[in-house]
Chains A and B, each alone.
Chain A
Amino acid sequence: MSIDTNTKSPEAAVPPPGHAPVTQRVRRGHQRLLTRRDRITLAFMAGVPTILHVALVWVTALASILLAFTSWDGIGFDSIKWVGLQNFHQLFTSNPQFWPAVEHNIIWFVVLILVPTPMGLFLAVQLDKKIRFSRVYQTAYFLPVVVSLAVTGFVWQLVYNPDTGLINSIIGANKPGHYIDWIGDPHLNLWAVLVAASWRHTGYMMILYLAGLKGVDPSLREASALDGANEWQTFKNVIFPTLRPTNTVVLVVTIIEALRAFDLVFVFNKGAQGTELLSILITNNIIGESSRIGYGSAIAVVLLVISLAVIIPYLIATFRKERQA
Chain B
Amino acid sequence: MSTAVITKQRTPVRPARILLHAFLITTSLAWLAPLLWAIYAALRPYSETSDKGYVSWPSKLTFDNFKNAFTQSDMLHYFGNTLIIAVPAVLLTLLLSSMVAFYVSRFDFRLNLFLLLVFTAGNLLPQQVIITPLYRMYLLIDLPGITASGKLYDSALGLVLIHVAFQSGFCAFVLSNYMRMLPHELTEAALVDGASVWRMYWQIVLPLCKPAMAALATLLSIWIYNDFFWAIVLISTGENMPITSALNNLSGQYFTDPNLVAAGALLTAIPTLIVYFVLQRQFVSGLTLGANKG
Contacts and interface: CB of A to CB of B under 8 A. Distances in A.
B41 interface: yes
Contacts of B294: 13
B247 A57 contact: no
B73 interface: no
B233 A283 contact: yes
Contacts of A144: 31, 35
B191 to A, nearest CB: 5
B144 interface: no
Interface stretch (A28-36, A89-97, A186-194): A28-36
Q: How large is the interface on A (under 10, 10 to 19, 20 to 34, 35 or more residues)?
A: 35 or more
Nearest to A262: B229
B51 interface: no
A132 B223 CA distance: 30
A131 interface: yes
Interface of B (DSSP majority class): helix
Contact of B27 (A11, A123, A246): A123
A278 interface: yes
Contacts of B53: 169, 174
Interface string A286-305: 11000001001100100110
A33 B119 CA distance: 28
Contact of B162 (A6, A56, A143, A203): A56
Interface string A11-26: 1111100000011101
Interface stretch (A106-114, A158-166, A176-184, A233-241): A158-166
Contact of B248 (A30, A60, A150, A212): A150
A1 B107 contact: no
A308 B125 CA distance: 8
A85 interface: no
Most A CB contacts (10 A, CB to CB) among B38, B290, B292 go to B292
A307 interface: yes
Interface stretch (B58-66, B83-91, B134-142): B134-142
20 contacts: A6-B226, A10-B170, A27-B108, A30-B107, A46-B99, A48-B99, A52-B161, A57-B130, A58-B118, A123-B24, A136-B28, A141-B28, A154-B247, A154-B261, A159-B34, A207-B288, A252-B124, A259-B126, A286-B131, A307-B124
Interface of A: 1-6, 8-15, 22-24, 26-31, 33-35, 37-38, 41-42, 45-46, 48-50, 52-61, 63-64, 67, 74, 123, 126-127, 129-134, 136-137, 139-144, 146-151, 154-159, 161, 164-166, 169-170, 174, 196, 199, 202-203, 207-208, 210-212, 215, 246, 249, 252, 256, 259-260, 262-263, 266-267, 278-279, 282-283, 285-287, 293, 296-297, 300, 303-304, 307-308, 311-312, 315-316, 319, 323
